Amino acid sequence: MPLNPKLLGTVLHEDLTRHSTLCRREAGAFVKALEVSTAGGEQLVVACTQESRLFVDLAQQASATSSVSPIKFVNIRETGGWGWEAAKAMPKIAALLAVAHLPDPEPVPTITYTSAGRLLILGPLGAAEAVAALLDDVLEVSIFSTGGVVGQGDSMAGGAQERRYPVLAGSAVSLTGWLGAFAFTWRRDNPIDLDVCTRCNACLSACPEGAIGLDYQIDSALCQSHRACVSVCGVAGAIDFTREPESESQAFDLVLDLRTNPSPHSTFLQHAPPQGYFRTGAMGADAKTLIALRGLIGEFEKAKFFSYKQKLCAHSRNTTVGCNACIDICSAKAISSEPKRQQISVNPNLCVGCGACTTVCPTGALGFAYPRTHEQGLKLKTLLTTYTAAGGQDAVLLLHSQGAGQTRIEQLGRAAQLRQARGVPANVIPVALWHTASTGLDLWLSAIAFGARSVAVLLTDEEAPQYVQGLREQMAVGQALLNGLGYSGVHLHLLDGVTNGQNNEQSVTALDACLQALASATAQAVGQPARFAVTAEKRSTLELALDHLITQAPAPVAALPEAIALPSAGSPFGSVVVNKEKCTLCLACVSACPASALADNPNSPQLRFTEKNCVQCGLCAQTCPEDAIALMPRLLLTPQRKDIRVLNEMRPYACVRCSKPFGTLKAIEGMLGKLAGHAMFQGAALERLKMCGDCRVIDLYSADNETRITDL
């Protein structure tokens, strides 16, 4: 790599020494640097990941006599040092090294799973027993037989004659749970009891219809009730057509599903199944699955990836559901609705940490915690400020996953070293994320405000289809905002399908071409990068980013439009339009609004609105009994966005007894018109509807007293 230690050291304010074979011949230099960092209580950064295991081993050997400072590894080779523009990549390398010096994210709560190794295999008996034989030395295996090829001619239809594992059979009813806590329910509705069956095969030979297979279950569709099987099974007594079906359930720690077409209730069909559940289908378990199963015994921890603030949630109010963005996008079915409690519920045991729910949440009620938003924001800010300080221009952030995305970047770097590709361009800065769906509009716009020319998200085959749609909708909103403010070009890119070629070579070639086009694409950046800090509150960060982007807009503020129209899908900004002819000022929308965007006036019949607070959740429109409210996605650029304005007001209705206003003229007259023909509201009863609450009670008691006196 054509490194420039002097330039890098100047930007990072450190003395850097370049090594050529640090990982082997010059390993002593690493040990010496480790001693220095340990003595100074500083963190040691190794700018190569190839021999990280060797460095860790050397550090562990040193720790036998003394404590060792933490070590961080950062890849500057495949991400920039190997490529046709490697000589120009010093600003990017400086930025990557600067991020490596940041402190580790704060620890987050963890979720614990406990597995004793109780494995349930669902599928054809023969295939299930074959797989069980590869696992039973470690796991406690039970099998739920789902049959096989019916008929005695195929010896592979059933299992071995020797009974080696508990075999359950019947109709699968339900499968729920997660690693260490699966619950399987089935219905024993087959005449053959496998606990009693000796697998003598006499019933298979006796059945004239071939309704019994080597799974030792009877196909009721083929059985003609000859009952020859019952006669030959007289000694064992395993076959009883009069037995009543029974529902049974059992707990398991792990599940291996070999079924081809399981019922929806007895399997997990979501894109991200629970941990501990493996579905391979009729092809059987591969080596990767078998190794994973064998290792799932003991206690396991994973991060609690999310934080939830119920007060900010726009999901429901007064049992009315408005925003379902997080529920719709969750690929693990970990989020459910609880409208009676005015909130959603997230099951941390099912959550896989994709962060897609936090990306589409308009209020920030759901936040990603691994790492937290402000920590991710500091990382992006450090990258871009260091890149600019080192002389870099036209920075493009490439967000990719730590899994398949990182692999594709490394493959591209190796191909560039072999002169088979151009490699990652000098102005494209790869940023590894836990999951590509975990960042959204607040961080993207903040990155643009910090000086990035554009932000791209690299997708692989890891993402669920709804993630792609959610990211696309968020990018459409962000791009509309930037273009509406006068920033020309395309700033937000979703690289979908680029790395999903038929083979690695095709994927690398496609990614190489895509990144070259991305690096040369024109998009207008801010003139002066922002200096604000990304906050833990999503709406606050959005406001900071927008304020800076508006201030730095290419056109003068006076020349900007009054409002920027935004796509209806995924917009977190907007107004509400009230049909004054329909609205009765019942103010049901006020009590439903979770963001305090709608409010009443205690001194006058008014519906007031603060557009800055509106999150476009739709609860007001869902709640309105008159269907008088519609949403208008937009970003208002005038000062009125932060002001309170009146959407509707009416003349108050005065009590006919004390003249105190207690409602609106339109609402009371409408009520009187609807109830005038009702038998319960005639005469004095109808007149009381024109009174305030106090006078209505007084008048009612006065009428009762007059009735009693008359009766006496």
Residue 283: predicted pLDDT: 67
- Chain CA centroid to CA 184, Å: 27
Integer angstrom CA distances of residue 337 from 7, 614, 620: 55, 22, 18
Q: What pLDDT sits at residue 152? A: 36
Q: Where are the domains of the chain?
A: 114-300, 304-368, 573-649, 654-711
Cα gap 617→361, rounded to integer Å = 10
Q: Is-contact 526 533, C-beta < 8 A? A: no
The CATH class given to the 573-649 domain equals alpha beta
Look at residue 148 in the predicted model and tell me its pLDDT: 52
pLDDT of 297 reads 97
Same fold, 114-300 and 304-368: no
CA of 44: how far to CAs of 33, 52, 72, 73, 558, in Å? 8, 13, 6, 9, 51
- Tens-place pLDDT, residues 575-593: 999 999 899 888 999 999 9
Angle at alpha carbon of residue 359, lines to 520 and 307, rounded to 5°? 140
pLDDT of residue 262: 87
Residues of the chain with pLDDT under 70: 64-69, 148-161, 282-283, 501-502, 704-712
What is the number of H-type helices and E-type strands within the chain?
Answer: 21, 30
**Is the whole model's pTM more than 0.75, yes or no?**
yes
Calpha distance 10→24 (Å, rounded) = 28
The whole-angstrom separation of Cα 532 and Cα 385 is: 12
pLDDT at position 20: 79
Cα-to-chain-centroid distance, residue 380: 21
CB 646 within 8 A of CB 608: yes
- Per DSSP, what are the bridge partners of residue 344? 337
pLDDT at 552: 95
Listed residue (522, 534, 518, 514) closest to 384, CA to CA: 534
Instruction: Determine the CATH number of domain 304-368.
Output: 3.30.70.20
Give the pLDDT score at 705: 66
Per-residue pLDDT at 150: 36
CATH architecture for residues 114-300 = 3-Layer(bba) Sandwich (3.50)
Helix H segments across 562-653? 588-592, 619-623
The pLDDT of residue 707 is 61
